[in-house]
Structures are given as structure tokens and as C-alpha cells.
Amino acid sequence: MDFKQMVKKRRSMRKYKQDQKMDDEALLELFTYASMGPSKSNAHPVEFLVVEDPEKKKALAELKRFGTKYLADAPQIIVVMGNDTSEPTWIEEATITSAYLGLLLHAEGYASSWINIREQTNSAGESSEEIVKKLFNIPENYGILCLIPFGIPDEWIQSRKYFDISSKVHKDTF
């Protein structure tokens, strides 16, 4: 499948087969490729934490008011974080890395979704980012961008519909 077709076919999915996980060696390879995106001064401030522990996945399922309940059933979850929040581009670099990671997972036959954590709160109004840091003993100077749950897909989602982008493209002036 060429790159354009892969981008077109990749969809966020929230149901995964429970009995199949990606092995550590394959995951490490994907992290390597996901980290090859643009990086200011080649700093590469993005790090990953892989979550497989059932109790920690249940805790993550309660992380936000909406949209995280399915995390308890995800085979694996990747926490994408920046290792220096004083670096002004950590958010952009972690976002680029996350987008690459989603495409790389798709290319390997895995489905994933993207859950924003930065500047989010749980139902009690507590910072989702601080909850993740405490749950996994992540240092204070790290920033948590998102979670990427993934696995072999166990659902079907309708193909992406084509839309005309021309109304959102401007040339030389707005």
C-alpha cells in the first residue's frame, strides 16, 4: 500500500483483540522510526512509556470525563511525553512523533487511537497529566501529550469519505 492509501485507510479504532500484543523488539523498532521526524537542534525530546498492567489501564480509563473508558480493555497503551517542558517545541515534536507512530502501527496491521492528555481533567477536575505522572512516577519536568492505545482491530469502521479541501486553501493572502 502506498503512503497516500495508508493515510486514507488509517482510522481511529477503540476495540482490539485481547490476545495479541506487539512484542518489545517490534515496538522498539516503531519507536525508532516514529522518532525520526523533525526535531529542533536534533534534540529529540520525546519519550515513550508502554502500559500493559491491567490495574494501571483501569486507572487510565478514568483519566478524563469522556472518551477514555475503553482504555481498560486495550492490550497496550503508549504514553507519549516530552522529557523537558522548558524546551519550547516539545509539544510539536511529540505531536509529530505521535502522528508518525499512528501510521507506523497501521502499516504493521495494528489499529490505534489518539487521546489528548495535555490540559485535560478527570470528572473531579484533577489534571489528567498530573494523574499520569503520579501513576507512573514520571518526573515533574516531563510533559504528557497523549495516550495511544493500540492492538489488532476488532471492529470495522466505515472508510473515510473524500472531502473537497479547496475552500481551506489560501494562496498569497487570506
What string of pLDDT tens digits covers the 174 residues of the chain? 687 777 767 767 677 888 889 999 999 999 999 999 888 887 788 999 999 999 999 999 988 776 788 898 999 999 999 998 888 899 999 999 999 999 999 999 898 989 998 988 888 888 989 999 999 999 999 999 999 999 988 877 776 777 888 889 998 989
Give strand pairing partners of 115: 147
Other residues' Cβ atoms within 10 Å of the Cβ of residue 27: 18
Strand bridging mode 46-51 / 111-112: unpaired
pLDDT of 38 reads 85
pLDDT of 141 reads 93
Tell me the pTM: 0.88
Rounded to a whole number of angstroms, the distance between the first and last alpha carbons of the chain is 36
Tell me the chain's radius of gyration from C-alpha atoms: 17
Q: Which domains does the chain have, with CATH numbers?
A: 16-156 (3.40.109.10)
119 near 145, Cβ under 8 Å? Answer: no
Q: How far apart are CA 6 and CA 94, in angstroms?
A: 21
